[in-house]
Amino acid sequence: MIELRECEKLYGRGAVAKGRDKGKERQGKGLFATSLTIPDGQVVGLLGENGAGKSTLLRAAAGLVRLGGGAVLFDGEPPQKAYGRIAYMTGEGSYFPSMTAGDYEEFLARFFPSFDTRRYEKLLEFFEIDPLQRIQKMSTGERAKVEVAAGVSKRAKYLLMDEPFLGKDLFTRRDFLKLLAGSLRGGETILLATHYIGEVEPFLDRAILLHKGRVAADLELDALHEAGGSLTEAMQTATGYDPHRYQELFADEM
């Protein structure tokens, strides 16, 4: 189980330190006093506009940023103690660019006892990645494929995925979702941040919608669909998006 307890990480001059000016809403960018509980086995979409706090939340969960307040726990332990059970995947990559895809395999096998080298090699072959090519010489899409192959092959209990589709074409995204679904053994928990809402919606059990660093909605997908709703509609409502707002810009020209 993943628990976020009053997690806060603020950026920018406008941020007001937690505990001060209690009657005033804190300003700035980042993550504001966020609490969530994610049971084992759920596939959860973390959705929102750019700057909503998705990456900050995932980086905090992975232990890569220091929180200004609160805590993240995996089965009651902080990320640093649960490291071997966590796979963090990002479009930016968690490899050393000078490595080859083969070097990266050796590195991960050394630090992750459950790393599945056979699965990693099969995925590289599927994605048509040369294991002898340096990662820094690869295209954006190829680097993203290496990162996905590595993350899935860690056989981790918790998969934290920050925009894993970055640089991937439509068919690669579809293949990746199929591969991910086929690789699950039933107990994994996935927290997935993405802008490709329509493509991931059928894959999700739950969606957490962030807006300006706060949880704007927490939805069970089965209940949403039974009520005739969609994630796109829920996103519009949660963020206050007005599809006709652009018309105001040219109103004086009509």
Measured distance CA(156)–CA(137) in Å, rounded: 28
Residue 127 near residue 178, CB atoms below 8 Å: no
For 24-28, 104-108, 124-128, which range has the lowest pLDDT when averaged over its residues?
24-28
CATH of the domain at 191: 3.40.50.300
Range 150-174 average pLDDT: 83
Is residue 142 in some structural domain? Answer: yes
Report residue 26's pLDDT band, with 50, 70 and 90 as the boundaries: low
Is residue 74 in some structural domain? Answer: no
Range 154-158 average pLDDT: 88
Is residue 174 in some structural domain? Answer: yes
Range 133-144 average pLDDT: 87
Cβ neighbours around 252 below 10 Å, total = 6
pLDDT score for 208: 95
196 vs 167, residue with greater confidence: 196
Predicted confidence (pLDDT) at residue 125 exceeds the cutoff of 80: yes
Is residue 78 in some structural domain? Answer: no
**Mean pLDDT of all residues belonging to the chain:** 84
Is residue 242 in some structural domain? Answer: no
Is residue 147 in some structural domain? Answer: yes
Residue 84 makes CB contacts below 8 A (sequence gap 6+) with: 112, 113, 114, 156
Is residue 26 in some structural domain? Answer: no
Measured distance CA(173)–CA(127) in Å, rounded: 11
pLDDT in tens, 178-196: 877 776 677 789 999 988 8
Range 55-63 average pLDDT: 91
For 36-45, 139-148, 176-185, 215-224, which range has the lowest pLDDT when averaged over its residues?
176-185
Token pair for residue 28?
């700035």
Range 48-73 average pLDDT: 90
Residue 114 near residue 84, CB atoms below 8 Å: yes
Domain residue limits at 151? 39-64+84-236
Domain count of the fold of the chain = 1
Report residue 160's pLDDT band, with 50, 70 and 90 as the boundaries: very high
For 12-21, 93-102, 153-162, which range has the lowest pLDDT when averaged over its residues?
12-21
pLDDT score for 122: 92
Is residue 77 in some structural domain? Answer: no
Predicted confidence (pLDDT) at residue 19 exceeds the cutoff of 70: no
